């Protein structure tokens, strides 16, 4: 009997297509080809080589930032290389741009935030507030938005979202239990385990943001329950994004605004400080939270149940399970309140602040922030035992925790934005861009502001809010100056709108955290995010036209917006006109 062996067929691995190879190598290609492709910019301004060279540097940085060719913070270091090589600024001058007063304000504020996270004070505050809201789903969602927004004013929006999402998942479980009136296993949804992996890059994107249950949560939820769960999670992201705009230190884009004002207009006297910003921004934050809450209720909670006391009982149980208020929490709370008091009383509007006791311009909000930050490294985490034998006493904030949790890359990112703005100003590129944008003067001023806001919102949904603010704020400042409009009338809404990243999961870390839960689809975020974008954008326009104009006197063009040379020229021109008129 002969055995006929069938031929063995060897399947060779499929050769990848050219497009797939290019896609895999896109970052390497972008890194190499961008400087070559942008070379024509060097010859675009034959009258001024400095403008062309600066435009070339800004173009490379913008492409690298948007495409994330290399880490965002590393891209921010490019001015240290390109500006000296191209003869725009000396290396020493560029280096000084990376750690101005504003950067230390950011560092001091975040040191306090790290101490709050270390003692878990924010967890206690969140659960306490949620225990006092009514048990109905819509009111619970409002409670989540308010708590998240408040925490986001003081700690990073990433850390805030990472804290609130597990609590939201517990509430979702209780909502489902109260609807079905039977036992519902907590393990079906699972507690979200989210590690704050953005603590060294709170502005990072497209990163793994946590580990969640592998089972699809939508399999165990009814349609109405799924809608409620989606609304609750989206409310956390919206609250984190909106809340950060309420304080100067709440989001890097606000600090970019302050830094750019000082860099572009050295003579500026804007009266913007910690307290004046809160007076302006808190009403806007409140209005945005209320409108987005109504939107989420209409989209996701139209058929929500009336709720049960069991939800509130569950939150109360979680709060009661917390250990008693620790010595560390008390001390951090005191330090936090002292810092707020110092910020508020340094330069209040109604009476002279303590800043007048020192040399004019010497003491700023940064001084207060760094003072409290230093104290945190000295105060023990437990009630001191002066007769104990222990030599190593742990403090409220230690350097190991500081290194692990502090977003060092954001400091470089802020500095890179300031350095880029310094080069743009030094080369007069901002003046040239402002001239080109004068084509917009055919539109009313408020229409131009709306255009700036919605362009910024579009950009911040595809790249970092810090990057967006760093690129766009100098442009709108020069645009306002060329149209003889108060620069802050365009700069403030641009900074605010750079934090309005609501539509895409990758737009901001809080969006990515809630999306990783598996309960949301992109279309859910697009629908709610688009409506929230329109509402918050229109509210920003309304507040700029009314409250901000009154508070910061934006209806007049300030003299500090001119350079000294421009002031001399204008005074000389005015003198000539008066002389000619007198002669006649």
CB-based contact 251:522 (threshold 8 Å) = no
The pLDDT assigned to 365 comes to 84
Residue that the structure tokens 């101490």 belong to: 115
Burial 446-463 (b: 16+ CB within 10 A, else e): eebbbebbbbbbebbbbb
How does DSSP classify residue 363?
-
Residue that the structure tokens 């040191």 belong to: 111
**β-bridge partners, 380:** 395
Q: Is 395 helix (H, G, I), strand (E, B) or coil?
A: strand
CB-based contact 236:510 (threshold 8 Å) = yes
Instruction: State the burial class of residue 43 (Cβ atoms within 10 Å of its Cβ: 0-12, 13-18, 19+).
Output: exposed
570 alpha-carbon distance from chain centroid: 39
Total number of residues shown for the chain:
584
The pLDDT assigned to 22 comes to 75
CB-based contact 466:76 (threshold 8 Å) = no
Instruction: Classify 271 in phi/psi space as left (phi over 0), alpha (psi -120 to 50) or beta.
Output: left
Using CA atoms, how far apart are residues 583 and 92, in angstroms rounded to an integer? 52
Residue that the structure tokens 């050219």 belong to: 18
Q: Pick from 247, 252, 172, 183: which is nearest to 217 by CA?
A: 172
Helix, strand, coil shares, percent, the chain, to 5: 70, 0, 30
CB-based contact 554:514 (threshold 8 Å) = no
Using CA atoms, how far apart are residues 352 and 90, in angstroms rounded to an integer? 40
The pLDDT assigned to 481 comes to 87
The pLDDT assigned to 179 comes to 61
Angle, helices 327-346/274-300, rounded to nearest 10 degrees:
120
Instruction: Classify 87 in phi/psi space as left (phi over 0), alpha (psi -120 to 50) or beta.
Output: left
Instruction: State the burial class of residue 200 (Cβ atoms within 10 Å of its Cβ: 0-12, 13-18, 19+).
Output: middle
Using CA atoms, how far apart are residues 251 and 466, in angstroms rounded to an integer? 9
Tokens found for residue 123: 């967890």
Residues 220/222/228/232 CA torsion (nearest 10 deg): 10
DSSP 419-484: HHHHHHHHTTHHHHHHHHGGGGGGS-HHHHHHHHHHHHHHHHTTS-HHHHHHHHHHHHHHHHHHTT
Using CA atoms, how far apart are residues 270 and 439, in angstroms rounded to an integer? 28
Instruction: State the burial class of residue 139 (Cβ atoms within 10 Å of its Cβ: 0-12, 13-18, 19+).
Output: middle
Residues 56/57/59/64 CA torsion (nearest 10 deg): 140
Using CA atoms, how far apart are residues 493 and 362, in angstroms rounded to an integer? 29
CB-based contact 69:34 (threshold 8 Å) = yes
Tokens found for residue 327: 């010595």
The pLDDT assigned to 386 comes to 64
The pLDDT assigned to 490 comes to 94
123 alpha-carbon distance from chain centroid: 21
DSSP 149-161: HHHHTTS-HHHHH
Instruction: State the burial class of residue 441 (Cβ atoms within 10 Å of its Cβ: 0-12, 13-18, 19+).
Output: middle
Count of C-beta atoms within a 10 Å radius of residue 183: 7
Using CA atoms, how far apart are residues 255 and 336, in angstroms rounded to an integer? 20
Instruction: Classify 550 in phi/psi space as left (phi over 0), alpha (psi -120 to 50) or beta.
Output: alpha
**β-bridge partners, 193:** 211
Tokens found for residue 491: 């700069």
What is the pLDDT tens value at each position of the chain, 584 positions in all? Answer: 445 555 555 555 667 777 777 777 888 888 999 999 999 888 876 667 888 898 899 899 888 887 888 888 899 899 999 999 999 999 999 999 898 888 888 888 888 888 988 888 888 888 888 888 887 888 889 999 999 999 899 887 887 888 788 888 877 777 676 666 544 444 444 443 334 434 434 444 434 334 344 444 445 667 777 888 899 999 999 999 999 999 988 888 998 999 889 888 888 888 788 888 999 999 999 999 999 999 999 998 876 555 556 677 777 888 888 889 999 999 999 998 998 888 888 877 667 888 888 888 788 888 998 999 999 999 999 887 766 665 677 899 999 998 888 888 888 888 888 888 888 878 888 777 767 777 777 889 999 999 999 989 988 887 778 888 888 898 899 889 888 899 999 999 999 999 998 988 877 888 888 887 778 888 888 899 999 999 999 999 999 999 999 999 898 888 888 877 666 666 655 555 555 555 55
Tokens found for residue 278: 């809160």
């Amino acid at each position: 009997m002969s055995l006929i062996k069938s031929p063995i067929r060897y399947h060779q691995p499929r050769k990848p297509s050219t497009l797939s190879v290019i896609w895999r190598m896109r970052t390497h290609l972008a890194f190499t080809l961008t400087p070559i492709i942008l070379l024509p910019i060097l010859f675009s301004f034959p009258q001024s080589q400095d403008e062309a060279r600066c435009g070339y540097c800004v173009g490379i940085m913008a492409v690298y930032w948007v495409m994330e060719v290399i880490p965002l913070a590393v891209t921010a270091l490019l001015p240290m290389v390109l500006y000296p090589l191209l003869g725009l600024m000396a290396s020493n001058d560029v280096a000084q741009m990376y750690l101005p007063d504003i950067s230390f304000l950011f560092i001091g504020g975040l040191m306090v935030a790290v101490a709050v996270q270390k003692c878990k004070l924010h967890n206690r505050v969140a659960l306490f507030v949620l225990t006092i809201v009514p048990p109905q789903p819509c009111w619970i969602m409002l409670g989540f938005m308010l708590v998240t927004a408040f925490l986001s004013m003081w700690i990073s929006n990433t850390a805030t979202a990472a804290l609130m999402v597990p609590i939201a998942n517990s509430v979702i479980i209780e909502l489902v239990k109260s609807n079905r009136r039977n036992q519902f296993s907590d393990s079906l949804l699972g507690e979200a385990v989210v590690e704050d992996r953005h603590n060294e890059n709170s502005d990072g994107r497209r990163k793994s943001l946590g580990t969640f249950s592998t089972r699809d949560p939508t399999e165990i939820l009814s349609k109405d329950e799924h809608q409620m769960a989606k609304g609750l999670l989206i409310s956390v992201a919206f609250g984190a994004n909106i809340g950060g705009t309420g304080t100067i230190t709440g989001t890097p884009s606000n600090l970019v605004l302050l830094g750019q004002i000082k860099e572009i207009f050295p003579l500026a006297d804007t009266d913007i400080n910690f307290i004046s910003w809160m007076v302006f921004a808190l009403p806007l934050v409140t209005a945005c939270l209320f409108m987005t809450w109504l939107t989420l209720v209409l989209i996701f909670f139209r058929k929500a149940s009336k709720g049960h006391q069991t939800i509130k009982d569950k939150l109360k149980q979680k709060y009661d399970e917390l250990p008693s208020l620790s010595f560390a929490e008390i001390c951090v709370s005191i330090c936090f309140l002292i810092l707020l008091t110092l910020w508020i009383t340094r330069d209040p509007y109604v009476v002279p602040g303590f800043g007048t006791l020192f040399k004019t311009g010497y003491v700023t909000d940064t001084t207060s922030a760094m003072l409290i930050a230093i104290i945190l490294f000295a105060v023990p985490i437990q009630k001191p035992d002066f007769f104990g034998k222990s030599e190593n006493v742990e403090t409220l904030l230690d350097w190991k925790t500081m290194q692990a949790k502090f977003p060092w890359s954001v400091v470089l990112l802020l500095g890179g934005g300031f350095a880029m703005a310094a080069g743009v100003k030094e080369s007069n590129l901002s003046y040239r861009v402002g001239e080109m944008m004068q084509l917009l003067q055919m539109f009313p001023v408020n229409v131009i502001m709306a255009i700036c806001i919605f362009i910024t919102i579009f950009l911040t949904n595809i790249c970092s809010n810090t990057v967006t603010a760093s690129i766009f704020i100098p442009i709108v400042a020069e645009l306002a100056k060329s149209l003889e409009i108060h620069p802050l009338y365009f700069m403030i809404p641009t900074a605010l709108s750079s934090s309005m990243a609501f539509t895409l999961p990758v737009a901001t870390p809080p969006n990515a955290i809630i999306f990783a839960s598996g309960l949301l689809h992109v279309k859910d975020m697009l629908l709610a995010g688009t409506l929230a974008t329109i509402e918050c954008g229109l509210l920003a326009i309304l507040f700029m036209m009314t409250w901000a104009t009154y508070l910061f006197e934006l209806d007049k063009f300030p003299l500090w917006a001119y350079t000294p040379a421009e002031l001399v020229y204008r005074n000389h021109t005015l003198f000539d006109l008066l002389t000619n008129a007198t002669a006649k």
